[in-house]
Amino acid sequence: MRTDGNKIRERRHELGLSIGKLATMVGISRRALYGYEREMTRASVSAAYQLAEILGVPLVKSINILEVNLDSPKKDNLPNNPDSNVRNRFLRFVLNKFSKFGLNVFVTNRSPFDFAALCPHTELKLIVGILKEDEEGTDDRMEEIASLSKVIEIKPILFGNENVSNPLGIAFFSFDELEKIPDRQKLEILLK
């Protein structure tokens, strides 16, 4: 997430905190905090929220994950591209299914979700997470996806092999269930 480096630095000074002290409180390195203050690096969702909570001011600059023109996505982002770098077979399966549904997809890196999807013909916008078997930190990841979806006002959806405890109410489908969904319209009905 893009943070407002000036706000971080100003508020840190107001509170009399050194970079080292604040970094320790957030659980990040001094170098990372220095990068946030200079806007040289982006913060993770959890670090940005932790900073905002400690400093008591909003710090996140709005970012539109769909600012990439998904009506004409880059060739590299298309799942049916044989040169695609998507190695996770479950992610590749979901990407292919979404493409067949007529959704444009944008694979993300260093994000709590795996890709964003947009239907060029309807208002459907999704952030999608693929839960891997025995994945550590699933609850934290789901919480980040849920929080982020509220901030950017895009519906979250999760896919996995088996149902997981989901107290946040994020739409969840097994890969078998997804395989049985015939088209985008049926997916939209199931998401309501």
Nearest to 84 by CA among 74, 72, 69, 70: 74
Pair of tokens at residue 138: 């699933």
CA neighbours within 13 Å on the CB side: how many for 175? 15
Q: Which residue has the higher pLDDT, 75 or 181?
A: 181
Q: Is the pTM of this model over 0.85?
A: no
Greater model confidence, 47 or 22: 22
72 or 111, higher pLDDT: 111
Using the predicted structure, report yes or no on whether residue 14 has a pLDDT greater than 90.
yes
Domains of the chain: 5-55 (1.10.260.40), 75-191 (3.40.1350.10)
Question: Rounded CA gap, 22 and 16, in Å?
Answer: 10
- Dig out the tokens for 90 from the structure: 């479950």
Q: How far apart are the first and last CA of the chain?
A: 28
> Residues 105-130: what's their mean pLDDT?
87
Q: What is the rounded average pLDDT of the residues 61-86?
A: 46
Tens of pLDDT, residue by residue over 131-171, are: 877 777 788 888 888 888 877 788 999 998 876 666 677 88
Where helices occur in the chain by DSSP H, the ranges are 5-14, 19-26, 30-37, 45-55, 89-100, 138-152, 175-180, 184-191
